[in-house]
Homo-oligomer: A and B are copies of this chain.
């Protein structure tokens, strides 16, 4: 059972099964995207390795989607193989052709599909650049034949260019867009057809320039790739060239940018000759750029760009890859500088200890951009780890087969906190014996909005939550409670004694009950 497909008009149409013709990297990606969205797939591909390719793409897609969202997946659609095009497309609500990029091959397959598919089925070609008017020429009912050009990996990237030919109806374009939207894509519906459409023309220009650079011995493949992924590529994941250049123009905007950089167009800065920047063209770009900015100021757009760039780089940091690896190396430098400074600092044991701070990571938020409840516990757990390390139970100690396990937790949620915000935790040791330690954490919004300069105190905002924990010291090999090392038990007892005058904090020792 597929999604209800919402069409532009507001009425709903359901696609339960799609037909795929051809399953190379792109077609296999389509199979995976449709299947993970609960839509059955019937495939024709004469290549005996096709089932293996499709299974591999489905595995990759399931893995990626499980990481992408906490939403429960749809029951996956069934994938079957058909002996020929006719059998694949019979009864299908939608047909997607992804055969090799040769016009005669695609024309023949699309013509066959159009003869055997139900009359209401829309038929899309994944071509990277062949013209839909030519592809639909031999088709029965060519008004429902068009291009739906996706990008690898098809199961992850949202873009799909929807391009009609001379014979294509606007109804077919709307319907294709609705199908793509239903499986999580962003259809870009173009009014006019042109060789290679939009994205591939841009990619092709860049690629051909790159080939010239390699041929001329100016740079290697690896250098060219670094020149993209550590700079312009980061920006392009957030905004396209026009909006980015509007921002580069500063407060004066697009008109200023075009005036300032018009001479550059005449320089030998690419093998591609640009068009003449006539007054008419400059005026058209400025008008279109103003429309795109939709009243947002340069300052607003700069902040949006920067916030998105920060999140993109943080995302890459998780994988220690590309710009994320650069960020990690820079952070390591900052941390080691801060640790050097902190080692000289004495903590006042008689006050709640501020040993842990965190930022609400992009992955931690719910649909309303609020930190989800389990991430509160994650932050409190990290604060517990920081306290234990402070007491001497560090990695070296754990490696001796001893550890503290949390056996009981009591959380009070007081206020929401949004993605990107910072929080800071203070910790009080309420009690301890040789096997146990009882902790009380308070989490505050850090209104300083981020890490602080050395020595500065966090600017504590609203209290967000509290957590009380009972920890048990265990011999991990034996799997049972055991006394902690005397020096650690003593250190915890010393903190508890120093903090005893603080008394039992508000919210500790509670039980849950209806009023």
Contacts and interface: CB of A to CB of B under 8 A. Distances in A.
A502 interface: no
Interface in A432-452: 432-433, 436, 438, 448-452
Nearest to A66: B450
A233 B233 contact: yes
A372 interface: yes
Contact of A228 (B236, B451, B452, B454): B236
30 contacts: A60-B306, A65-B450, A67-B310, A72-B454, A153-B309, A158-B323, A184-B326, A184-B330, A184-B333, A192-B219, A194-B213, A204-B209, A211-B274, A211-B281, A212-B274, A226-B240, A227-B240, A228-B236, A237-B312, A308-B319, A308-B324, A311-B314, A312-B316, A317-B362, A318-B369, A318-B420, A331-B367, A373-B377, A470-B512, A509-B512
Interface string A119-152: 0000000001100000000000000000000011
A159 to B, nearest CB: 3
Nearest to A234: B237
A69 B235 CA distance: 19
Greatest chain B CB density within 10 A among A202, A263, A406 is at A202
B291 A222 contact: yes
A115 interface: no
A277 interface: yes
A277 to B, nearest CB: 7
Given A60-B306, A152-B248, A157-B230, 15 more contacts: A60-B303, A66-B450, A73-B451, A101-B264, A161-B227, A184-B333, A186-B323, A188-B227, A205-B271, A220-B291, A221-B289, A234-B237, A308-B322, A314-B315, A408-B512
Interface string A347-388: 000000000011101110101110011111110011000000
A264 B495 CA distance: 71
Given A75-B453, A308-B321, A151 B270 contact: no
- Interface bin, chain A: 35 or more
A500 interface: no
Interface stretch (A91-99, A165-173, A334-342): A334-342
Contact of A318 (B100, B322, B341, B365): B365
Given A201-B270, A239-B322, A409 B330 contact: no
A263 B239 CA distance: 31
Contacts of A284: 214-215
A70 B359 contact: yes
A83 to B, nearest CB: 24
Interface stretch (A14-22, A104-112, A411-419, A486-494): A411-419
Nearest to A219: B198
A343 interface: no
A254 B129 CA distance: 21
Contacts of A363: 67, 311, 314
Contacts of A272: 204-205, 208-209, 270-272
A48 interface: no
Given A270-B196, A288-B220, A509-B513, A232 B151 contact: yes
